[in-house]
């Protein structure tokens, strides 16, 4: 028998660098809070010393872990929001949060957030580049549900606190994701490891703290996958549509999702029926904004990312675009380049291979894995493969690893 459990080591290895890197108090260093965190971590590890009944052992570990997540992540989020409110709207925050807050205000005042520009908002003061103008000032790239879901938080927070921070709905979804992950994994040891890796993933947590939107979308995708796992194929379309109506990075899962539904039912008519709620929900959310201003909506949510409009998203990150830039093939990061050719040449055969693999290993865990592999390739051969995209992929692969095996009848 091991002297110490892997989850105890992992908790130490992930929590310590986080609390030593990020603020966990809005004012002076809260040494009392460090003390409480240390007590929690010591208690967690110390449980490995004793021969307790299995249910008692894991129940105590889960209680301590829950308190640590709330204490560590909750204090970091609270501190980040309070300090930003006391200093400046652009302090230690990602630009998508600034733009979301402005877009929600526009929407509530009857202005189309996709038609508007953002030069008269705090986004104009956010440091994008010393020489280039932030293209987000011209376009709001996120899908409509990213705004719609935030509206109740905006109204309630302004009434209670007098201000709103876009990380409020984001971290509501973060904690909801952890609760659902705990419900999914029945194996107690794996459950602890999964929750620790989701909560303190060093690739993801820092980006989430600054407000990047990956968790916002992933929480809805995770719920859809959970409903697939319990064979609620029709109902799963609802949260999947919500994920699609938040962020485009989930869109590449669609062919694999459709294939999964078809391979399960072996019926085209049943597959179409199971996809109906997805189509209706996605259309109900996006169509009003599309019809409000078709060009503005498509320019902001589609063409902006491909770079074939005047103020498109620049070539950036760590993918093929930067390789071509360093080689001098692409002279200007803002110019259009047909990355879709690379994506089609490499992505279509890969999708066929992955769908065949999914068919022979039909399970939600494998669905997540093939989606992650395809998305990795798709992103590498796009205009951008940014740091948070790689972090998001780590979360996808972690989820695939811990997803429970499905019983084959």
Per-residue pLDDT at 3: 86
Q: How many CB atoms lie within 10 A of CB 80?
A: 23
Residues 16-29 have a mean pLDDT of 95
Q: In the predicted model, what is the mean pLDDT of the chain?
A: 96
User: What pLDDT, on a 0 to 100 scale, did the predictor assign at position 406?
Assistant: 79
pLDDT value at residue 5: 95
pLDDT in tens, 119-144: 999 999 999 988 889 999 999 999 99
> Tell me, what's the pLDDT at 129?
87
User: How high is the pLDDT of residue 381?
Assistant: 96
CA distance 241 to 220: 9
In this prediction, residue 351 carries a pLDDT of: 98
Percentage with pLDDT > 90 across the chain: 94
Q: What is the predicted pLDDT for the residue at 308?
A: 86
| pLDDT score of 130 | 83
Which pLDDT score, from 0 to 100, does residue 115 have? 97
Q: Which residues contact 258 (CB under 8 A, 6 or more apart)?
A: 271, 275
| Average pLDDT estimate for 90-113 | 97
Asked if residue 394 has pLDDT above 90, the reply is yes
- Token look-up 């935030």 returns 150
pLDDT of residue 298: 97
DSSP secondary structure letters along 26-77: SSS--HHHHHHHHHHHHHHHHGGGS---HHHHHHHHHHHHHHHHHHHHHHHH
Of 34-48, 213-227, 369-383, 395-409, the range with the lowest mean pLDDT is 395-409
Mutual angle of helices 254-265 and 339-360, in 10-degree steps: 20
B/e letters for 386-397, b = 16+ CB within 10 Å, e = fewer, are: eebbbbbbebbe
Q: Per-residue pLDDT tens for 245-292? A: 999 999 999 999 999 999 999 999 999 999 999 999 999 999 999 999
Q: Which residues touch 374 (CB under 8 Å, ≥6 apart)?
A: 252, 256, 347, 350, 351, 354
Q: What is the pLDDT, as a whole number, of residue 91?
A: 95
Whether the pLDDT of residue 409 is over 60: the answer is no
**pLDDT, position 131:** 84
Model pLDDT, residue 408: 55
Question: pTM (2 decimals)?
Answer: 0.96
| Six token digits for residue 253 | 């899962």
Is the pLDDT at 378 greater than 80? The verdict is yes
Q: Region 152-157: what's the mean pLDDT?
A: 98
Q: Give dist(CA 369, CA 365) in Å, integer.
A: 6
pLDDT at 1: 59
Quick check: 179 and 219 in contact, CB under 8 A?
no
């Amino acid at each position: 028998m091991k002297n110490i459990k892997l989850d105890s080591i992992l908790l130490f290895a992930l929590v310590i660098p986080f609390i030593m890197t990020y603020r966990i108090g809005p004012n002076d260093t809260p040494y009392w809070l460090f003390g409480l965190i240390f007590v929690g971590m010591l208690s967690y590890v110390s449980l490995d010393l004793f021969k307790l009944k299995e249910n008692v052992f894991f129940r105590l570990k889960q209680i301590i872990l829950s308190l640590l997540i709330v204490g560590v992540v909750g204090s970091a989020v609270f501190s980040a929001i309070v300090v930003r409110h006391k200093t400046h709207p652009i302090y230690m925050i990602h630009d998508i949060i600034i733009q979301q807050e402005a877009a929600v205000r526009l929407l509530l005042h009857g202005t189309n957030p996709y038609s508007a520009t953002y030069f008269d908002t705090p986004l104009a003061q956010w440091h994008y580049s010393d020489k280039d103008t932030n293209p987000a000032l011209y376009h709001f790239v996120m899908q409509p549900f990213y705004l719609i879901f935030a509206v109740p938080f905006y109204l309630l927070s302004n009434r209670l606190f007098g201000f709103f921070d876009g990380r409020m709905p984001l971290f509501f979804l973060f904690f909801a994701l952890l609760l659902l992950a705990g419900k999914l994994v029945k194996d107690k040891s794996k459950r602890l490891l999964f929750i620790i890796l989701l909560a303190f993933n060093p690739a993801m947590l820092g980006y989430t703290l600054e407000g990047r939107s990956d968790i916002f979308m992933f929480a809805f995708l995770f719920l859809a996958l959970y409903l697939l796992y319990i064979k609620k194929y029709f109902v799963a379309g609802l949260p999947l549509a919500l994920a699609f109506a938040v962020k485009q990075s989930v869109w590449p899962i669609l062919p694999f999702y459709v294939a999964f539904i078809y391979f399960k039912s072996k019926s085209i008519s049943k597959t179409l029926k199971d996809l109906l709620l997805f189509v209706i929900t996605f259309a109900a959310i996006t169509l009003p904004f599309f019809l409000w201003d078709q060009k503005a909506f498509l320019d902001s949510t589609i063409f902006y990312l491909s770079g074939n409009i005047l103020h498109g998203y620049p070539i950036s990150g760590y993918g093929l675009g930067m390789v071509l830039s360093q080689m001098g093939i692409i002279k200007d990061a803002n110019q259009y380049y047909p990355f879709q050719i690379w994506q089609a040449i490499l992505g279509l055969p890969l999708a066929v291979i992955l769908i065949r693999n999914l068919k022979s290993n039909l399970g939600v865990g494998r669905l997540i894995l093939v989606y992650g592999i395809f998305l990795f390739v798709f992103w590498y051969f796009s205009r951008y493969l940014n740091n948070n995209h790689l972090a998001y992929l780590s979360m996808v692969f972690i989820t695939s690893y811990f997803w429970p095996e499905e019983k084959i009848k």
